[in-house]
Amino acid sequence: MAILQLNDFQVHTLKPLNIEVKDEVICLSGPSGSGKSLLLRAIADLITHSGEARLDGKKCSKTNPVQWRKWVGFLPAESAWWMDKVGDHFSNKNHSYIEEMKLPADCLNWEVVRCSTGEKQRLAIARLLAQQPKVLLLDEPTASLDANSVAAVEQLIKNYSRDNQAPVIWVSHDEKQIQRLNNRVYRISENEISEAEL
Amino acid sequence: MNVISLSAIDLALAAFLVLALAMLSLILKLGLASRLVIAAARTVIQLFLIGLVLKALFAQVSLLLVSLLSIFMLLIAGREVMARQQRRFGGWWGYGLGTLSMFVSSFTLTVYALIVVVGTEPWYTPQYAVPLLGMMLGNTMTGVALALDKLTTTAWQQRRVIEARLILGQDWRTAIGDITRDSVRVGMIPMVNAMAAAGLVSLPGMMTGQILSGTDPVEAVKYQILIMFLITAGTGFSAILATWIGARHLFDDRQRLRLERLS
């Protein structure tokens, strides 16, 4: 079981955060611009921060950054693609999540420019999970998806967390979704992150 | 063959053409007239000044004087490289990156050419050292400026892509690899084009100058080939060096993309 710990973890104007996440999906919500995305980016060690993030006791600052980012899988709100074909962005042969995302098997041959925003988002989730990260940091992963796809993503992430005993931090604005995920929820208010009632 | 000396009237006749162009620019409201006249005036003043400097320099073969002039030329070239970038590195990096890479590449190759290829005695004979270095710096300056501009503007535009690649476990070299390769290619384009077109589309300036001043065309061609090879190698090496150091400086020791280092 992977354990993500944040000790006096501070980014931008947010107050220091102390939290421990085990094999569970916790939600993070708060108004736009409150620092949710910054927090996820800092945990993925993409921006400077103070304090320490630990994964299974291993300090982020003492771990090779490339290794750390492979362990800590971050899904940005908007996916990025840099080659023509979808399949060129998958570095390994683990394509099982494409099917679970309700995408056709031949989508790896699709041209990226012809994919819709929703398709790109589902492909980005499949691409991230194919790397088998130990932790998932999801920044509004279902914001651009229809109801069926939202349900599929929610189920897939829950299953992934359970099967891989992976901690998940899920940023969401959708109160109904937070209820559905039915776990601990943290809210950002006045630069402070605190656990809140469901 | 004797050189036909140009009089002030000859140069004035040429200047008349630039003035005519400036007048036309005024009539057509191109907004170029003043810049054209100022640039032409700068050309006259700067070239006459360097002419005087070279005349004094050629009169006494001094390593110190050649070095001082070389450093002066390098510093000006470094400033030009910085000025030509839309998004440049902040602080000393903005100036130092281009200057350092041009210094390493241009100076090394010029000294190599003087000692190994041309074999002048002493190697810093100003008649050879200054024009060679001048041509090296002038061309590497363009290459480095183009390469660095491409690197920084593309990194800025594609920051999401670079971060997405870092997120997927790529190291900084791979994450920005396509951009660095493209930047070096862009920096090299003018020289590759110049080599491909030499003799067919254009007669290179140095060769033309030598022929006009009475040198045997075959000798002039040999010098031109030497110069073009030196310039190409110098441009390539300095563009690669500047791009590599610049790309590395876009990331910190934790391999995070640090675009705030650009101004």
Q: Which residue of B has its CA nearest to A75?
A: B167
Six-digit token pair at A85? 């074909």
Q: Using the beta-carbon criterion (under 8 Å), do B161 and A47 form an inter-chain contact?
A: no
Which residues, numbered 132 to 151 in chain A, qualify as contacts with chain B under a Cβ-Cβ cut-off of 8 Å?
Answer: none
Total domains in chain A come to 1
Q: Which of A66, A79, A91 sits opposite B255 (nearest CB)?
A: A66
Contact A69 B164 (CB under 8 A): no
Q: Which positions in chain B touch A69 (Cβ < 8 Å)?
A: 166-169
pLDDT at B153 over 90: yes
Residue of A48, A70, A80 with shortest CB distance to B160: A80
- Strand-by-strand arrangement of the A25-29 sheet: A72-75, A135-139, A168-171, A25-29, A185-189, A192-196
Q: With respect to residue A118, please indicate whether it lies within any of the assigned structural domains.
A: no
**Model confidence pLDDT, tens digit, residues B159-202:** 999 999 999 999 999 999 999 999 999 999 999 998 998 888 87
What mean pLDDT is predicted for residues A108-112? 94
Tell me how far apart the alpha carbons of residues B186 and B164 are, in angstroms, rounded to a whole number.
24
Residue A33, exposed/middle/buried by CB under 10 A (0-12, 13-18, 19+)? exposed
- Chain A residue with Cα closest to B258: A47
- Chain B residues near residue A67 by CB distance under 8 angstroms: 169
Q: What's the first-to-final CA gap in chain A, in angstroms?
A: 25
Residues A12-22: b if buried by 16+ CB within 10 A, e if exposed: eebeebebebe
The verdict on residue A41 lying in a domain is yes
Decide if A91 touches B, using CB distance below 8 A.
yes
B1 has pLDDT over 60: no
What contacts A77, CB < 8 A, 6 or more positions away?
A37, A139, A140, A143
Is A121 among the domain residues?
no
CB contact (8 A) between residue B167 and residue A44: yes
Note down the domain range covering A68: 4-84+133-196
The answer to whether A69 and B169 have CB atoms below 8 angstroms apart is yes
- The amino acid at A24: E
Encoded amino acid at A94, one letter: N
In this predicted model, which residue has the larger pLDDT, B209 or A48? A48
B165 to chain A nearest CA, in Å? Answer: 9
Cβ-nearest to A78 among B160, B178, B254: B160
Mean pLDDT lowest among A52-56, A94-98, B86-90, B236-240: A94-98
Six-digit token string for B171:
């190291």
Looking at residue A197, its pLDDT comes to 79
| DSSP code string of B201-226 | TB--HHHHHHHHTT--HHHHHHHHHH
* Domain contains A113: no
Are B165 and A82 within 8 A, CB to CB?
Answer: yes
Q: Which CATH number covers residue A41?
A: 3.40.50.300
Give A29 or A198, the one with higher predicted confidence.
Answer: A29
Assigned domain for A21 exists: yes
B52: CB partners within 8 A, 6+ apart: none
Nearest-by-CA chain B residue for A126: B168
Long-range contacts of B25-34 (CB under 8 A, 24+ apart): none
Return phi, psi of residue B241, to 5°. Answer: -65, -50
Q: Where are the beta strands (DSSP E) in chain B?
A: none
> What was the pLDDT predicted at B5?
84
**CB contact, 8 Å: A82 with chain B?**
yes
Q: Is the dihedral of CA B47, B101, B69, B216 positive or negative?
A: negative
For residue A12, tell me if it sits in a domain: yes
Q: How far is A3 from chain B (nearest CA, A)?
A: 20
Mutate to test the interface with A, among B168, B173, B178, B261 (most CBs of A within 10 A): B168
3-state secondary structure of B143: helix
What was the pLDDT predicted at B2?
66
Any domain includes A57: yes
> Is residue A149 in a domain?
yes
The chain-wide mean pLDDT, for chain B, equals: 92
- pLDDT tens, B35-48? 999 999 999 999 99
